């Protein structure tokens, strides 16, 4: 159990377009989901914390108008990269926290390439 | 804020031998969790081992064990009988216990090479 999926796993887009990435908890409810970004050969850096039914909390330096997060249900959080630029090219990973518990589980990640 | 430091960017080990990856952290909290995650080329984060700070006993998972020194804020990972499949990037991570947030704080990673 405790599976988290991300869709798409890989996306290539043109500069200026928007891209939506989904994070789903498949067999459990997640009141909190976290979005991380990982540049090549670097560590995971938290971008934002997403709570179901409320606004996301963004880390310092992360533009909330550029990285739109919606956590509309207990099993789905979406990250939309608006007006993507080549510098947004990265690996985006979500993790989902089990509702009522403390365990978290990572999704497989989404590789975004902006041309 | 919590910080996690991995001072070994790269490590190598001979197959079947033992290797230890180092990790130190800084926190003012008394209750927290520590983790080692493995990230193979697929980039999927795989939980290797987890330690609750309140437990004095070091966690073990088959060939993987930790040396948790709470006072020294040290959390090293020992891999015994290394296998080719152990080659990956290893991240040490910290997470607070309790509360409603609890994001992970990751170290910079150690790239482990296993030599046949």
pLDDT for res B56? 87
Q: How confident is residue B99, by pLDDT bands cut at 50, 70 and 90?
A: low
Q: From chain A, pick out residues whose CB is under 8 angstroms from the CB of B102.
A: 32, 97, 102, 104
Peptide bond into B93 cis (omega under 30): no
**pLDDT tens per residue, range B12-46:** 999 999 999 999 999 998 889 999 999 999 889 99
Of B38 and B1, the one with more pLDDT: B38
Report the mean per-residue pLDDT for chain A.
92
- Side-chain-side CA neighbours of residue B58 (13 Å): 13
Distance from the Cα of A100 to chain B's closest Cα (Å) equals 10
Would you state the structure tokens that stand for residue A1, as one six-digit string?
């159990």
Cα dist from A63 to A57, A66, A111, B45, whole Å:
11, 5, 19, 25
Q: Do A43 and B91 touch (CB under 8 A)?
A: yes
Q: From chain A, pick out residues whose CB is under 8 angstroms from the CB of B103.
A: 34, 46, 49
pLDDT for res A61? 92
d(CA B62, CA A20): 39
φ, ψ of residue B67 in degrees (nearest 5): -115, 100
Tell whether the torsion through CA atoms of B68, B6, B43 and B13 is positive or negative: negative
- B7 close to A (CB below 8 A): no
pLDDT for res B4? 95
Helix, strand, coil percentages in chain B from 3-state DSSP, rounded to 5:
5, 50, 45
**pLDDT tens per residue, range A1-30:** 679 999 999 999 999 999 999 999 999 998
Residues lower than pLDDT 70 in chain A: 1
């Amino acid at each position: 159990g405790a599976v988290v999926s991300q869709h798409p796993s890989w996306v290539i887009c043109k500069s200026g377009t928007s891209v939506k990435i989904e994070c789903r908890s498949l067999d459990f409810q997640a009141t909190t989901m976290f979005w991380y970004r990982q540049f090549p050969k670097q560590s995971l850096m938290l971008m934002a914390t997403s709570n179901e039914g409320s606004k996301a909390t963004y880390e310092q330096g992360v533009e909330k108008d550029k990285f739109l997060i919606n956590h509309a249900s207990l099993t789905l959080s979406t990250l939309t990269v608006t007006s993507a630029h080549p510098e947004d090219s990265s690996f985006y990973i979500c993790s989902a926290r089990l509702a009522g518990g403390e365990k978290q589980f990572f999704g497989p990640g989404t590789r975004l390439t902006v041309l | 804020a919590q910080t996690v430091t991995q001072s070994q960017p790269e490590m190598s080990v001979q197959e079947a031998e033992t290797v230890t990856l180092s990790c130190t952290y800084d926190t003012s909290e008394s209750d927290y969790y520590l983790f080692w995650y493995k990230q193979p080329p697929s980039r999927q984060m795989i939980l290797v081992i987890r330690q609750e700070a309140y437990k004095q006993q070091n966690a073990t998972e088959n060939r993987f064990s930790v040396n948790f020194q709470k006072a020294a804020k040290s959390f090293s990972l020992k891999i015994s009988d290394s296998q080719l499949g152990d080659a990956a990037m290893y991240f040490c991570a910290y997470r607070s216990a309790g509360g409603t947030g609890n994001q992970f704080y990751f170290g910079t990673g150690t790239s482990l090479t296993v030599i046949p």
